[in-house]
Structure 1
């Protein structure tokens, strides 16, 4: 069963997401965590680049004498919410097992080294496998639902991860915190992004319905859209 996927992002009026670049400074930046808590997901998911910003450790040792089966491994299954991070090739050394109290679950491919798995296990970081060499996002959602009971997942960036889920037809809802600020710079991080190779791939979104517009104060708006995806192209 696929969890309900809600993309939650805060952006300037020109769609940029790097708060430190916004002018005026600090416009609406404190609303993200409040709305995150209101939405109450069973898990939240971020990409590798965003995930690395939370890491406190160094890369794990390059070698180990241990070998591990390419099977899902969980340090915990009893959390109220999980922090899920896409890290296909095992680049992040965590130095921690949770983010804000939410246990980390890393999404890997089977190409990751035994040494990296040893590092994750040693720090009590759970991991799942969702592909041979590339992450299958639909499979990721299926595993999170089956193994951890995730029914409601908050997709929270960065733009590359959001864009990948969007192009896969896996985003059910967009909650956009629109802040009274501008960036204006070319190449700044945006809500949905792609690589050059993916730039011609179109998302299978067939409709977007504005469900609500909620003023949050100070010129900040929360826009809630429901997305419909072409079922023949989704997943």
Structure 2
């Protein structure tokens, strides 16, 4: 039995593997967006995880945290503000930069999600206090870079998360993949592209991570969804 959640990388993409860009606003992406939510629901997960930039773009509008001077820092230990929430949203935020203004997120038709921050030792005492004041849960996993394995184990042990959806951006997706933590890759592919070269793909290796051998996959299923949208499911070729 694994001591971590089952982890699915679930992404909406263009036909050329982009996870952002102008195509997201096209008529072709409407059905894809609906299918993305329907297929996400089919996994019955207890949490979904995104990187810092994705969180700031979609939920905080890049709001900066208002940090105060701390006379007595909180201990740098994990903090569970809400156990047994119906849904969690997990923010991979190594340095502690996301400017949350409340401790829950609402997204589409998903249940209201309690926020969990994944921090590294780089996060400041002031940011830890900022999270505590708002009753936002957090865990520490790693010195400079997020230790995805340790973080996953803590998400199961502390919050009871048995199925976790990892949903971008490309850097955090790759971090989980390179540590061998992705059990399935689920792609909802819209029949469109915008040709941009400055947008992200599903998996991208940060410059400060070591290069590893290419990762192979085994196709589990293909489903044709309305309006020529595909749902592709892959397992790792182990």
How far off is 1:202 after superposition?
Answer: 3.0
Tell me the residue number matched to 1:32: 36
**Contact 1:64–1:115 (8 Å) recurs in 2:** yes
Structure 2 CA distance, aligned partners of 1:81 and 1:124? 16
Task: Give 1 or 2: higher helix fraction.
Answer: 2
Summarize the Cα distance change of 1:197–1:129 in structure 2 as closer, same or farther, 3 Å threshold: closer
Structure 1's unaligned 5+ residue stretches are: 230-235
Quote the RMSD (CA, aligned, Å): 1.9
Note if 1:223 corresponds to 2:232: yes
Structure 1 CA distance, aligned partners of 2:101 and 2:24? 31
Tell me the residue number matched to 1:76: 82
Tell me the residue number matched to 1:208: 217
**Contact 2:14–2:193 (8 Å) recurs in 1:** yes
Note if 1:55 corresponds to 2:55: no
Count of aligned pairs between the two proteins: 227
TM-score by length of 2: 0.88
Tell me the residue number matched to 2:91: 85
TM-score by length of 1: 0.89
Note if 1:114 corresponds to 2:125: yes
Q: How does 1:94-173 map to 2 (within 5 A)?
A: 94-100=100-106, 101-173=112-184
How far off is 1:227 after superposition?
Answer: 1.3
SS at match of 1:196: coil
SS at match of 1:41: coil
Summarize the Cα distance change of 1:201–1:62 in structure 2 as closer, same or farther, 3 Å threshold: farther
Tell me the residue number matched to 1:4: 6
